[in-house]
Amino acid sequence: MRKLLFVCTAAGSVALLSGCATSGSVSKGDKQFARGQYELAIPLYQADVAKGRNAAISNFRIGEAYRLSNRVELAEPFYKAALDGGVKNADAGFRYAEALKANGKYDEAATQFASYATNGGNRTLAARADTESKNAAASKEVSGMKNKYDVMPVDALNSAGSDFGGTTMGTGGDFVFTSNREGKKYLGNGENFNDLYAIKFDNAATMTGGTVRKLEGPFNTENKHEASATYTPDGKTMVFARSNDGSKKGFLSVDLWISYNKGGVWSEPVLANINDRTADDFAPVFAPDGTTLYFASSRKGGQGGNDLYKATLGPNGRFSPAENLGESINTAGNDNFPGVAPDGTLYFSSDGRPGLGKLDLFMVKAGKPVNLGADVNSTADDFAPIPMADNTGMFSSNRAGGKGSDDEYMFKKKPFKLVTFYADGTVLERDSKAGTTTPVAGALVTFTGPNGQPQTATSDASGKFSLKLDSVSTYTLRAERPGDFTARGSVSTVGRKPSQDQLPNLTNDIQIPVSLTLEKIILAKAIEVKDIFYDYNKYNIRPDAAIRLDTLVQTLVDNPKISIELSSHTDSRGKDAYNLKLSQQRAEAAVAYIVSKGVAKSRITAKGYGETRPVVPNAKTEAEYQRNRRTEFKVTKVAK
């Protein structure tokens, strides 16, 4: 990826060399490096290392050659060898940390950046290193962040060369993009110069079919990079980036050029009035309004590295002064390649925020950049976003697996998969006298959800019922049938929704099993109310006994047609008459408590049996005595 799209000037490369100069003659590698011909410089430096000639410096310059030709991930072993060899360069530790981050070694990069922040020799880079250390540490979290995008290559555009960026030539026009698939070799990285290409897709919606051609008009040159064309919606005005030719003559930076279509003929491009002649200005893109132009620039006065700017195109063909987008968007790193969605949402690429390695794609939400996540971004350069409607778009990447050094990819937000919950219910009836549990038909099941509105269902011949449930909701269930005690239960969808990756279809039905067991009412059958305890020689209702009696209150409320006898029993210790009196007092106290909860007194009778009806005759152990000390109820009547 041509991050800056320019051929380094001799002056700039000499300045880089001077930072690590030592006594002795300039090597052959230095000469190529100074010309910005990094691809030629690398083997010459490698030969110096093999001969033991200034090995530390030569390794560092190999690393720099890779970094300056945007292959910093290849620089890691050379920076390390330079540091291990004691290279005398103030930037080396920072550059090594950058290479570690580019290779996804986040922990090592964070440690190296932190060390440089404390001990680094370049004050400017040391100030950045603390932030970079935090970014690298946070990158682990980003690497696990999935935002549910599908990513696929755009085969109609990709070649063995570098293919990136793109736009339509006005509304409904051909697609124009950048490629170096043919042409003269650029010795900075061994690839060809970039030119502008166009294609008319057979199917514009899917970006398939069509034949790629060189863009017609006065735009492409043999020995300069041309890239990142953008058009006004009417297709009459075009802005693009063009580099210098690597010589000391002419323009020594990347600049924005503008051309106009008059009568079907494009005018000779001229420099736009928003360029900074001492800096690189590139990656222009018009917003949907056709007058606001976003672009990237390395000019002074920004946050650092490349920053994003915007300017307004006036009716006279001149732009308003460029406005920096500010620190909420720009960082001390490189923020570039803006893209604007039809709704005005800004996208861009950056290596100055937590990301997966080199450049990552971001979109601005509520004024804050948000990383598009690990299903779009990679440890490679991901850049040049082209956002389209309906959560789709394109971007470029030099990730592994492509056809060339940079390839075009389409991203599309995965459709949100829907989930509908249902209660998969069964109503059973237990007959304790017969010792059977069987499914029953005709039971009325009432669901009450968070809104308090009841819904009903009726069990079928096999005891089954089904009811639709809301997400993140808890329901109470009540099943009733003549001749049975009402049964209660609950069902919840809270925490039940699978992740989007686990759902197989666009619409998914999830059945939650739930069963309700009715107890057949048998007249005069004693049913124990568990854990009703009294203090020794007392009959008042303790708080723990009240909790248990509340279940009996609920039974009476749920079954309004039944009348019961509530009985209290003691063990055999103590005098018979005393036990009989105490058990009656306890039964009456329990009944009084139940009545206080709103149950009609006429439906419940208190009866104390003392020690006359033991469960365990001739009890001898404390456990046996405890079983005999119990509270029971039995149904005495069922109203019609």
pLDDT of 53 strictly over 80: yes
- Chain mean pLDDT for the chain: 90
**Are residues 489 and 384 located together in one domain of the fold?**
no
Residues linked to residue 632 through DSSP beta bridges, in sequence order: 528, 567
Q: Return the CATH number at 496.
A: 2.60.40.10
Query: Per the domain annotation, does 1 fall within a domain?
Result: no
Of 476, 498, 520, which residue is a domain's last? 520
Q: What is the pLDDT of residue 17?
A: 44
Residues 6+ apart with CB under 8 A from 547: none
pLDDT, mean of residues 126-137: 90
User: What does the alpha-carbon distance between residue 335 and residue 333 come to, in Å, rounded to a whole number?
Assistant: 7
**Are residues 213 and 345 located together in one domain of the fold?**
yes
**Are residues 572 and 436 located together in one domain of the fold?**
no
Q: Return the CATH number at 548.
A: 3.30.1330.60
Pairing of strands 562-569, 604-610: parallel
**Are residues 537 and 622 located together in one domain of the fold?**
yes
pLDDT, mean of residues 305-315: 95
Q: What is the pLDDT of residue 246?
A: 60
Q: What is the pLDDT of residue 190?
A: 76
Of 520, 544, 561, which residue is a domain's last? 520
Q: Return the CATH number at 302.
A: 2.120.10.30
**Are residues 265 and 378 located together in one domain of the fold?**
yes
Residues linked to residue 226 through DSSP beta bridges, in sequence order: 242
- Residue owning tokens 């690497």: 143
The band of 25, judged by pLDDT with boundaries at 50, 70 and 90, is low
pLDDT tens string 466-513 = 999 999 999 999 999 999 999 999 999 999 999 888 999 999 999 999
Total count of domains within the chain:
4
pLDDT, mean of residues 67-86: 93
Q: What is the pLDDT of residue 249?
A: 59
Query: Per the domain annotation, does 2 fall within a domain?
Result: no
**Are residues 442 and 555 located together in one domain of the fold?**
no
**Are residues 496 and 538 located together in one domain of the fold?**
no
**Are residues 336 and 371 located together in one domain of the fold?**
yes
pLDDT tens string 369-399 = 999 999 899 989 999 999 998 889 999 999 9
Q: What is the pLDDT of residue 104?
A: 87
Q: Which of 314, 312, 302 is nearest to 278 (CA)?
A: 302
- Residue owning tokens 């040391």: 126
Query: Per the domain annotation, does 3 fall within a domain?
Result: no
Query: Per the domain annotation, does 128 fall within a domain?
Result: yes
**Are residues 235 and 303 located together in one domain of the fold?**
yes
pLDDT tens string 287-296 = 999 999 999 9
User: What does the alpha-carbon distance between residue 347 and residue 341 come to, in Å, rounded to a whole number?
Assistant: 8
pLDDT of 629 strictly over 50: yes
What is the SS3 string spanning 230-289? Answer: EECCCCCEEEEEECCCCCCCCCCCCEEEEEEEECCEECCCEECCCCCCCCCEEEEEECCC
Q: What is the pLDDT of residue 23?
A: 37
pLDDT tens string 338-358 = 999 999 999 999 999 999 878
Q: What is the pLDDT of residue 252?
A: 64
The band of 5, judged by pLDDT with boundaries at 50, 70 and 90, is very low
**Are residues 235 and 304 located together in one domain of the fold?**
yes
Q: Which two tokens stand for residue 634?
A: 């039995």
User: What does the alpha-carbon distance between residue 339 and residue 166 come to, in Å, rounded to a whole number?
Assistant: 10
Cα three-residue angle 83-84-86, rounded to 5 degrees: 65
| Strand boundaries in 555-621, DSSP class E | 562-569, 604-610
Query: Per the domain annotation, does 121 fall within a domain?
Result: yes
Q: Return the CATH number at 118.
A: 1.25.40.10
Query: Per the domain annotation, does 5 fall within a domain?
Result: no
Q: Provide the residue range defining the domain that includes 292.
A: 149-413
Query: Per the domain annotation, does 458 fall within a domain?
Result: yes
**Are residues 467 and 533 located together in one domain of the fold?**
no
pLDDT of 241 strictly over 90: yes
The band of 415, judged by pLDDT with boundaries at 50, 70 and 90, is confident
Q: Which two tokens stand for residue 178?
A: 């950048």
Q: What is the pLDDT of residue 474?
A: 96
**Are residues 542 and 483 located together in one domain of the fold?**
no
pLDDT of 24 strictly over 50: no
148 HSE (CA, 13 A, CB side)? 11
Of 413, 445, 465, which residue is a domain's last? 413
Q: What is the pLDDT of residue 26?
A: 65
Query: Per the domain annotation, does 502 fall within a domain?
Result: yes
| Strand boundaries in 123-194, DSSP class E | 149-153, 163-168, 175-179, 185-186, 191-192
